[in-house]
Structure 1
Amino acid sequence: MTLRIDFTDQATSLHHDAILKPLREFNGGVIGSPGAASVAWTLRDPNLDEIVGGLYARLGGGWMFVELLVVPERMRGQGCGRELMARAEALARRKGCGGIWLDTFSFQAPDFYRKLGFEVFGEIADFPPGHTRYFLQKRLA
């Protein structure tokens, strides 16, 4: 069988989904259905009733991946981030996850996550240049 390789520098979600589909099928054949689900807790501005931040995570493979955590600058230092992470951890425990993992940059919140019990398991120096990207995990008992 001969395959053709096409390139685009304007990739869309259609490209992403088409490439992801056979990967998920292969992985499912090896590890079975991971029971993947996406979850979110949102922070809303009560005056505008719009989402201004929150936490978005995916559950699968027995772990929770916190993909996004954003607390608006005006709300930082009031415990919103801790509350969102506590809710995510509680759900991960209820769902039987072995742990939670996430990534952050040196200019974002690595110390915040360390205070919550997360440990660095990997890092990429100078990504982006002058900064570090950290990968953290917290194993759940």
Structure 2
Amino acid sequence: MQIGVETSKAVDQRRVFVIDADDVTRTVLQFMLQDEIETHEVASLDEAFVKGVDWLKPHLILLGASLLSGNAQGVVAEIFQRFGGVRLVIVADASDDPAVTASLRAGAHGTILKPLTLEAVRRKVDTVLGRTGAAPLVTLPGL
């Protein structure tokens, strides 16, 4: 099901990895993005490192804050080392979470805060990837 998809974005050759231990968050983010950009969901960093071989290297990683537990700077550094040139956005409950702050200091490119909305997620992805023209939301009559 395509919701407000801009054709130029749908043919974008870049890919996003959604890495989060919470399967609901992963699924929601993949659903929100899959019509506009190739999106893969994985449950752990180890799985992402295995999946992220050269031919499937991500251009953007949406990382659940729960995976930063206690070592945000180390996690961010390892991601940048394994996936050179990748953009990193932290998905979190609150912007004042110490792990989120530490990851931003370590070089993460931004945050997406819950509750997740289609417009906010797509706008952040577009901004971080440097894509122009945010996709309009479709309003259905009577809803």
How high is the TM-score relative to the length of structure 1?
Answer: 0.36
Q: Rg: which structure is higher?
A: 1
Whose strand fraction is larger, Structure 1's or Structure 2's? 1
More helix by share: 2
**TM-score normalised over the length of structure 2:** 0.36
